[in-house]
Amino acid sequence: MAQKQNREQVTLNAQVLGVLREHGDSLTGVREIDHFAYFVTPQLRARFVDRCLAIGFKLRATTEPSEHSDKYGAMIFHSDMPDEEVLGRITTRLIELAQECGGEYDGWETQVVK
């Protein structure tokens, strides 16, 4: 299961990087990169956030269940260049952390830097 998820995330990472390039991003500038994860309880979300903070991420925001989602969300971020290898390592680690905390990782986004 982990290998399949990793392959899927590598594909998703490449797609997001492709969109950035299409919008004129050279992918060389350091910028904040946001990552999203969702959990069924606020306690599981808090556990994930604490573990992310311990390894150097920062918390940007949390979300509560709404009419659009019944999950508790966490948006964490770090500053880095959007590099395929770096993002591969980071997303793999965040997928593992989210799963260990009973949640699911839902991808990343960043601003276009020209």
Question: Mean pLDDT for the chain?
Answer: 93
Please write the tens of the pLDDT for every residue from 56-80. 999 999 999 999 999 999 999 999 9
* Residue 94 pLDDT greater than 80, yes or no: yes
Q: Rounded mean pLDDT of 36-44? A: 98
Q: What pLDDT is attached to residue 93?
A: 96
pLDDT for position 5: 56
The predicted structure's pLDDT at residue 7: 82
Residues 80-90: pLDDT tens digits? 999 999 999 99
Residue 103 backbone zone (phi > 0: left; psi -120 to 50: alpha; other: beta): beta
Q: Which domains does the chain have, with CATH numbers?
A: 2-110 (3.30.70.970)
Considering the entire predicted model, what is its pTM?
0.92
pLDDT of residue 3: 53
Q: What are the helix (H) ranges across the chain?
A: 2-22, 42-54, 84-100
> Which residues, at least 6 apart from 85, have a Cβ–Cβ distance to it below 8 Å?
none
